[in-house]
Amino acid sequence: MKHSNISIFVPHAGCPFQCAFCNQHTITSQTNLPHAEDVVRICSQAMQEISEKSQAEIAFFGGSFTAIPEQYMLELLKSAQPFIGKDKFHGIRISTRPDCITPEILEILKKYHVTAIELGAQSMSDKVLQANHRGHSAKDVFQSSAMIREYGFELGLQVMKGLYRSTIDDESTTLNAVCEIHPDTVRIYPVVILKGTKLAELYQSGEYVPMSFDDMVKMVASDMRIYMDEEIQIIKVGLHASEFVEADKIGGYYHPAFRELCESEIYQLRMESAVMALQWELHGFRRQTVWTEDRVFAVNPHCISKAVGQKKANIRYFYETYGIRVKIVGDETVKHFDVKIIS
């Protein structure tokens, strides 16, 4: 069954810092803080619309939930309680900063049926965190993650790709650290440069020069493959499609179907690897004896469009790179993101 969130945004509330990349008004498309009546209204509507309620969570996103004033935090948590339990929603999901987790806070969250806590780690390089004015360290992420796990919550980490002053080595450090922590879920956000941010100033002055869009797709696809192999659930890739983001972005890696671009890249690599493995089995290193033959690949039927790629990008890739025609067919026995050579 598919998980769903009843998202309630708490824009920038509780966050003591203005990160270089952050413009919460643009990201959440709202400026007013929600209160108890808003939570009741949103949850009541969701109760009517969502059939699989046990697979849904009330989600307080957008700010640093555990850093807001305690009275306000309790107002939001208490107003959500009538909608949690048997034949109702599973629990509450929150996002917060790694340096805003304490045993006292976790006790409160446990009491009010919070089930999942996502930490905005962003990077696991202290150099990058400092350059982007995050105000916390990689050590905070490790320590808070351990506490969250100790108290029995589902743990999620949110990471950003391509931050100011982040090198390939820094990106690898973050990937390796996330795998070491091994959260239940991860969200991957390639940087989007928004108007009104410090990052926009750095970009416009030439101080911040992002890598190419295609290179970012390849990097995120590589990370996704590793997270899949580690059985870490990827619940989001890229900012959600929004007219506000599209209006305010001045650079970076925004695309309304960014995840699908990365998934298509994964399929391209796996099809290529499958043919290379066949080449090794049949012909050793004499690759041309394999790549002159057209190929038919089987993938899970739900993934055919991803394997084909946007505007048939993967079909074109194999023809333009190797001169072979590729056909993609569906096979229910093939797992998601696996490929099988039919002929």
Give the domain CATH number at 334: 3.30.300
One domain for residues 203 and 273: no
One domain for residues 291 and 149: no
pLDDT for 286 beyond 60 = no
pLDDT tens-place string over residues 228-250 = 999 999 999 998 877 678 888 99
3-state secondary structure of 332: coil
| pLDDT value, residue 293 | 80
How many residues are given for the chain?
343
Which of these three, 256, 278, 298, is where a domain ends?
Answer: 256
Segments forming the whole domain that contains residue 125: 4-256
**Low-confidence winner among 33-37, 110-114, 244-248 (lowest mean pLDDT):** 244-248
What span, in angstroms and rounded, lies between the C-alpha atoms of 301 and 278? 23
What span, in angstroms and rounded, lies between the C-alpha atoms of 325 and 8? 48
To the nearest whole percent, how much of the chain has pLDDT over 70?
91
One domain for residues 11 and 68: yes
CA max distance for the chain: 71
pLDDT band at 343 (very low <50, low <70, confident <90, very high): confident
pLDDT for 56 beyond 80 = yes
3-state secondary structure of 187: strand
Q: Return the CATH number at 61.
A: 3.20.20.70
What span, in angstroms and rounded, lies between the C-alpha atoms of 171 and 222? 11
